[in-house]
Amino acid sequence: MHGEPGSATVRRNARGQYEAVVTGTGNTVIAQRVGGLAPGSYSASVDVEVEKGKTRPTFLTVHPEHGKKGRAWLDRSTAVNSTASDERHGTNAQRVRVFFDVPAGSDSAELSFRVAEGVGAVVFDNVRVVAMPAPAPRAARSTGTSSASTPGGGRSCAARCRSATPTPTSPSCTRRTRSAGGTGR
């Protein structure tokens, strides 16, 4: 962990499960290397809940060893989780997902969760890394047209968010993360 001492803790929630909580006001990063990954495509995801009524940029970053870094973020979690089978049902937890590739000759990736400076607690729960190919860009899926016709330089908003360094003022990512809570489920 990097940041304010004591700002990130692990606690048991009301269901008796462990979750990471960032309560300090400074920039805080929690990171862990995940090993034993075979070369291929993966999805890393985490439930993120920003304290109700607060706005605080929160990032999931995945950096595969010798591979391309991927990132997704949100700054608020205003939608109520209404998935009945989800243990976070009834909370404002949003699933944030990053697709990434582990190249040949590598077997690990670093996952990091960054909470930018600000006020409001942020909760991380249910971290998952699973083998899964990235979805096709939206334009190619829905119309069968080439990606060159997609607004924003030939890539979907999700692809721009994954390959760019989003900031809270990045209009190409703000709309998606605010309306869908990251990348959805």
Q: Alpha carbon of 113 to those of 83, 118, 137, 141, 160: distances in Å?
A: 24, 15, 25, 30, 19
Tell me, yes or no, whether 70 and 82 share the same domain: yes
For the chain, give the mean pLDDT: 79
Q: Return the pLDDT at 1.
A: 62
User: Does the predicted model carry a pTM greater than 0.75?
Assistant: no
The tally of CA atoms less than 13 A away on the side-chain side of residue 65 is 14
Q: Alpha carbon of 2 to those of 23, 55, 113, 114, 137: distances in Å?
A: 14, 21, 10, 9, 35
Tell me, yes or no, whether 83 and 149 share the same domain: no
Tell me, yes or no, whether 85 and 167 share the same domain: no
Q: Greatest CA span in the chain, whole angstroms?
A: 51
Per-residue pLDDT of 30-66, as tens digits, reads 999 999 999 999 999 999 999 999 999 999 999 999 9
Tell me, yes or no, whether 102 and 150 share the same domain: no
Asked whether residue 2 is assigned to any structural domain, the reply reads no
Cα dihedral 121, 48, 169, 178 in deg (nearest 10): -120
90's CB contacts (< 8 A; 6+ apart) are 80, 81
Tell me, yes or no, whether 146 and 65 share the same domain: no
Q: Return the pLDDT at 56.
A: 96
What's the total number of domains in the chain? 2
Asked whether residue 3 is assigned to any structural domain, the reply reads no
Tell me, yes or no, whether 155 and 86 share the same domain: no
Asked whether residue 184 is assigned to any structural domain, the reply reads no
Tell me, yes or no, whether 97 and 160 share the same domain: no
- Nearest CA to 157 out of 167, 144, 171, 172 is that of 172
Q: What is the CATH number of the domain that holds 43?
A: 2.60.120.260
What is the C-alpha separation between 93 and 79, in angstroms, rounded? 8
Tell me, yes or no, whether 52 and 130 share the same domain: yes
By percentage, how much of the chain surpasses pLDDT 70? 72
pLDDT grade, residue 119 (50/70/90)? very high
Tell me, yes or no, whether 166 and 112 share the same domain: no
Per-residue pLDDT of 150-165, as tens digits, reads 333 333 333 333 334 4
The pLDDT of residue 174 is above 60: no
Asked whether residue 182 is assigned to any structural domain, the reply reads no
- Nearest CA to 131 out of 113, 109, 146 is that of 109
Query: Amino acid identity of 82?
Result: S
Asked whether residue 123 is assigned to any structural domain, the reply reads yes
Q: Which domain holds residue 148?
A: 136-177
The pLDDT of residue 166 is above 80: no
The pLDDT of residue 97 is above 90: yes
Tell me, yes or no, whether 126 and 143 share the same domain: no
Asked whether residue 158 is assigned to any structural domain, the reply reads yes
Tell me, yes or no, whether 79 and 124 share the same domain: yes
Q: Return the pLDDT at 54.
A: 96
Tell me, yes or no, whether 75 and 164 share the same domain: no
Q: Say which residue, 143 or 109, is predicted with more confidence.
A: 109
